[in-house]
Amino acid sequence: MGTLTDRYVSATVRELAEDQRDDVDRELRGTIEDMVDARLEAGAAPDRDRAEHDVLVELGDPIRLAAGYSGRPLHLIGPALYPEWRRLVVLLVSVVSPIAAVGTLVVRLFVDDVATDGVGPAFGSAALAGLTTALHAVFWTTLVFAVIERSQPGKGVLGWTPDQLPEAPASRRAVGRTETVGSLVTLLVMVLALVWQQTSSPVRVGGEAVPVLDPALWSGWLPVLLALLLAQGVLVVAVFRARRWTPGSAGVGALLDVATAGLLVWLLQTDRFFDARFVDALVGGGWTNAARDLTVGVTLGVLVVTLWDQVETWRRLRRA
């Protein structure tokens, strides 16, 4: 083990090109000695070791010093590439990752034996697929951009043109086409799911399809639920045509949300929501606490979504 100076100099020159090393090594050593002598002469340090230590602190991290000599960047992705990197990462994560998650969910729901395993593993692996895809997207994009940064420093690759500008809402309160379509699609999926679980349920007991929800609800609360969803759809279209949320439409929205959530939670908490045969099939398949887990899980889900919707609408109203 050498002196501090030996270690510092070798840590610095290790980062440099072969033909630079000896020269920088020699000059840096001389310079450090000059600086140490100056400190001792000025009485700034009690002894040589202390002075050497202080000088190395002043010169700072050898990686930074070496970057000064070699001109190599001290960042992974610099300002020339950062906007392109960010745009691509956001695009990949927001598009590819949900596709992977939804694709996995659909495949697993059809392939898995939902009666024995429940829907938990399918949702679990969907979430995992989404997360893994996002990690891969961020990692590989970053790696490629870091390599580009080092092969042609200070230059962009993809460039930028005004055509890439995202659609601007008419005002900050305005409700755009994309979110309207998103809301309508969500509502449609919910309606279809309600019908689908009755007509072609994936759950089978003894070869016979068992609906997820109690069929008795069709002559009672399910039509009410469908009517509430329809009303939500009408509200979404009305808000889009008015281009913005108003206190009035936000109030109606909150009422509809609370009515929907209240109905669902009440049905769940009074055990009227799920078909008993469906729950029995899950319990029989080994999910002992299926009734409780499903009730708690779906209740929580409903509450979170409802609360989120209120927060989002309120935020839009306030951003004037």
Partner 1 sequence: MTDDEGVLAGHLQELRRGTVVVAALASLRTPGYGYALLESLARNGFEVDANTLYPLLRRLEKQGLLTAEWNTEESRPRKFYRTSPAGEQVLAALRADWRSLDASISDLA
Q: Which residues bind partner 1 (CB under 8 A)?
A: 23-24, 26-28, 30-31, 33-35, 38, 58-60, 64-65, 68-69, 71
Minimum distance of partner 1 from residue 79's CB (angstroms): 16
Minimum distance of partner 1 from residue 316's CB (angstroms): 34
Q: Judged by CB, which is closer to partner 1: 43, or 247?
A: 43
Residue 123: other Cβ atoms inside 10 A: 16
**Tokens standing for residue 141:** 């994009």
Q: Judged by CB, which is closer to partner 1: 37, or 312?
A: 37
Q: Judged by CB, which is closer to partner 1: 33, or 271?
A: 33
Which helix (H) or strand (E) segment holds residue 66: the answer is helix 62-70
Minimum distance of partner 1 from residue 61's CB (angstroms): 9
**Chain Cα centroid distance, residue 297:** 22
Q: Judged by CB, which is closer to partner 1: 7, or 204?
A: 7
Find tokens 């990686």 and name the residue.
63
**Tokens standing for residue 172:** 């900050």
Minimum distance of partner 1 from residue 40's CB (angstroms): 14
Q: 234 to each of 252, 254, 314, how far by Cα in Å?
A: 11, 14, 19
CA pair distance 236, 214, nearest whole angstrom: 29
Find tokens 């109690």 and name the residue.
214
Q: Judged by CB, which is closer to partner 1: 65, or 265?
A: 65
Minimum distance of partner 1 from residue 49's CB (angstroms): 19
Minimum distance of partner 1 from residue 59's CB (angstroms): 5
Query: Residue 226: left (phi > 0), alpha (psi -120 to 50), or beta?
Result: alpha
Q: Judged by CB, which is closer to partner 1: 78, or 169?
A: 78
Q: Judged by CB, which is closer to partner 1: 69, or 82?
A: 69
Contacts for 68-72: CB closer than 8 Å, 24+ residues apart? 69/12, 69/15, 69/16, 69/20, 69/24, 70/15, 70/16, 70/17, 70/20, 72/15, 72/150
Minimum distance of partner 1 from residue 31's CB (angstroms): 5
Find tokens 């969910």 and name the residue.
105
Minimum distance of partner 1 from residue 60's CB (angstroms): 5
Whether residue 232 contacts residue 182, with contact meaning beta carbons closer than 8 Å, is answered with no
CA pair distance 5, 33, nearest whole angstrom: 9
Find tokens 């400190």 and name the residue.
39
Q: What is the SS3 assignment for 290? A: helix
Minimum distance of partner 1 from residue 1's CB (angstroms): 24
Q: Judged by CB, which is closer to partner 1: 27, or 312?
A: 27
Residue 53, strand partner residues? none
Q: Judged by CB, which is closer to partner 1: 30, or 215?
A: 30
Q: Which amino acid is at 162?
A: P
